[in-house]
Structure 1
Amino acid sequence: MPTTPQADEATLRRDLAAAYRLAARFGWDDTLYTHFSARLPGGRKGQQRFLLNPFGLLFKEVRASDLIVVDLDGKVVQGGAAMNPAGFTIHSAVHTARDDAHCVIHTHTVPGMAVAACEQGLLQLNQISAEFHQSVGVHPYEGVAFNLEERSRIQAALADNMALILRHHGLLSVGPTVADAFCVMYYLNKACEIQLAAAQLASIAGPVTRIPPVLSAHVRKQFRGVEHERQLVWAAWLRELDRSEPDYRL
């Protein structure tokens, strides 16, 4: 994939803090756990630095100035707070393998974890899920992500996909900007919500139907043509945050 020029650090801090606030608003938070990360501009291969939430803050508390800077090994190089070692193992794997993955979003939502427990993963049940046709990898569960050797297997599972289902764990999305990665996660999680609802209805309404693969491929191509609209959605979300909780920018 072609790379996208990175925003400056101030903009990345604003956007990543906004992502945490929006995630709390959408119910994606898991007390102090799960992380979103953004690659800072500059730095040679293997020496990049990344913004991450400090361990101890709720998503709804995160401000731009609270974000810490870590290196590829998860060492805090700027900021007076600690980080969760297991939290950055997955992120460092993705950032290392994908030059275009400037932002990585990882969640533990109920719909995402429910689909991650299903043998067939995300099903082609609706227009939203069609956006992810053949664009989501699957990584087997290996326990809590303390083992750095797991990174190579995460990289292989993600490949060039825009998202990853972590078996028995949750969801992950990537993007060249915070806006892209966040919008991908928003709709991936919504597709999982719909799948969960469809499974519940199936017991009283009969079997669900799936979109044929050829049609899913067509819809996926249609979505590729409007990916630039994610920036418009992101701008709208920022306006809402500016009205209701502008301290995220501090």
Structure 2
Amino acid sequence: MELSIRYLQKSKGCVMNFRTLCNVPSRLNSTNKVLKICDFEENARSFRSISTAEKIARCKLASLYRLLYISGWAEDVLNHVTLRLPSKTAISCNNDNQIDETFLINKFGLQYWEVTSSNLVEATLSDDAEIVSPGSNCGPVGLNKAGVVLHTALHRAREDVECIVHFHQTDVQALSALKCGLLKTSLESCILGGVSRHSFRGITIHQEERKQLRQSLGKTNKVMMLDNHGAVVCGSSVEETWQLTTLLVHAAKSQLTALQAVGGDESKLVLIEEETAQRTYETAWSGNLHGRDLTDTVSHSGEKGKSIAGEGIENEALTQKFGVRLFNSEIRRLDFMGYNTGLT
């Protein structure tokens, strides 16, 4: 494989992305530069005083951006992934002493592969998303207005919405244009549970659309199709959001393939009965995909080169929440590829 890659690197054109498409570890090429996800050491002065919880949050979110990029689900400098920051001492951001929660978002203009733990922007969840921390390597720091309107509206709509992915993955966007919406044609579609819909009103830059977005999402659903505009996935953690995102992509691909096979005739599809779909959903969320496993351990020694995720926990059995196992496996893959997530 290494010899093949070295040969291909001499070629031009479509071979340029061979390594990324095949998920080949970058360490096979010692001259290949890798932009580390966890780059606090390079920006130690700026991040000396932040909490361990915030460091973990930044590393997880930056890792999620990188996963979306290498999966081919990013769209240039568009779309956003956001994360509500852990509770901290209240910050007075305005002259009138209004106190706002804060969240992390990417700088407008960076591609997903460029997002790191230190260059994420911290902003308030207010309508104007006032910048609290511009992140590292900042010239002019801009936030995309459409991203601010969409993400702040949904974060503020429900306390359980901690992490949000908005994306235009091709199959998901195609599905968002179908009147039938997401059908129960696969296991993945069942695990997603209820799916909301929001009609397309153009680019989401208008403040009045916030209320409509909140109403469309509803009180419990975690996935919302944006008609003709992709989808948003709203999870209670980065891990849950990534699992739901992968499920949505698989469900969309499966449905579109099935529809293509029957010439678009929905009547020829075998749909999963509602009772079975509900039972599948309850099984998945009650333990089949998370649950307690005595083989799960966590080691946070705090030694150099180890995870920054904590200290003092050794060989403790964990109750894994939805999406944790999948996300942890992805973190191991990113670290194997040389991206240094700071989470292992």
Q: So what's the TM-score if we normalise by structure 1? A: 0.91
Residue of 62, 70, 76 corresponding to 2:123: 70
Max Rg structure: 2
Tell me which residue corresponds to 2:329.
236
Quote the Cα distance in structure 1 between the aligned partners of 2:333 and 2:86.
Answer: 27
Quote the Cα distance in structure 2 between the aligned partners of 1:224 and 1:46.
Answer: 35
Aligned residue identity for 2:62 = A
Quote the Cα distance in structure 1 between the aligned partners of 2:182 and 2:63.
Answer: 27
1:203 positional shift:
2.5
1:218 positional shift:
1.2
- C-alpha change, 1:146 and 1:229, in structure 2 (3 Å) is closer
Describe the SS at the equivalent of 1:101.
coil
Quote the Cα distance in structure 2 between the aligned partners of 1:50 and 1:88.
Answer: 10
Describe the SS at the equivalent of 2:233.
strand
Q: How does 1:112-191 map to 2 (within 5 A)?
A: 112-133=172-193, 135-159=194-218, 160-191=220-251
Structure 1: gaps spanning 5 or more residues: 1-6
Aligned residue identity for 1:37 = T
Q: Deviations over 1:155-188 (max 9, x none)?
A: 1111121111111111111112111111111111
Q: Deviations over 1:80-133 (max 9, x none)?
A: 321111112111011101111111111111111111101111000011111123
- C-alpha change, 1:126 and 1:75, in structure 2 (3 Å) is same
Tell me which residue corresponds to 1:36.
81
Greater percentage in helix: 1
Given that residues 76 and 82 in structure 1 are in contact (C-alpha distance below 8 angstroms), is that contact kept between their aligned partners in structure 2?
Answer: no
Tell me which residue corresponds to 1:86.
146
Quick check: 1:225 aligned with 2:318?
Answer: no
Percent of aligned pairs sharing the same letter: 28
Quick check: 1:200 aligned with 2:200?
Answer: no
Structural RMSD (CA): 2.1
Tell me which residue corresponds to 2:59.
14
Structure 2: gaps spanning 5 or more residues: 1-51, 92-97, 291-320
Tell me which residue corresponds to 1:4.
none
How many residues in Structure 1 have an aligned counterpart in Structure 2?
A: 243
Aligned residue identity for 1:25 = I
Tell me which residue corresponds to 1:95.
155
1:13 positional shift:
0.4
Given that residues 241 and 323 in structure 2 are in contact (C-alpha distance below 8 angstroms), is that contact kept between their aligned partners in structure 1?
Answer: no
Q: Which consecutive aligned stretches of 4+ in structure 1 deviate over 6 angstroms post-superposition?
A: none
1:25 positional shift:
1.1
Quote the Cα distance in structure 2 between the aligned partners of 1:161 and 1:193.
Answer: 21
- C-alpha change, 1:204 and 1:16, in structure 2 (3 Å) is closer
Aligned residue identity for 1:243 = F
Quote the Cα distance in structure 2 between the aligned partners of 1:74 and 1:189.
Answer: 30
Quote the Cα distance in structure 2 between the aligned partners of 1:109 and 1:46.
Answer: 36
Q: So what's the TM-score if we normalise by structure 2? A: 0.67
Quote the Cα distance in structure 2 between the aligned partners of 1:90 and 1:212.
Answer: 33
Given that residues 331 and 341 in structure 2 are in contact (C-alpha distance below 8 angstroms), is that contact kept between their aligned partners in structure 1?
Answer: no
Given that residues 104 and 121 in structure 2 are in contact (C-alpha distance below 8 angstroms), is that contact kept between their aligned partners in structure 1?
Answer: yes
Higher relative contact order (CA 8 A, sep 6+): 1
1:229 positional shift:
4.5
Quote the Cα distance in structure 2 between the aligned partners of 1:126 and 1:116.
Answer: 17
Given that residues 89 and 151 in structure 1 are in contact (C-alpha distance below 8 angstroms), is that contact kept between their aligned partners in structure 2?
Answer: yes
Quote the Cα distance in structure 1 between the aligned partners of 2:186 and 2:156.
Answer: 33
Aligned residue identity for 1:58 = Q
Describe the SS at the equivalent of 1:8.
helix
Quote the Cα distance in structure 2 between the aligned partners of 1:234 and 1:108.
Answer: 21
Quote the Cα distance in structure 1 between the aligned partners of 2:335 and 2:239.
Answer: 16
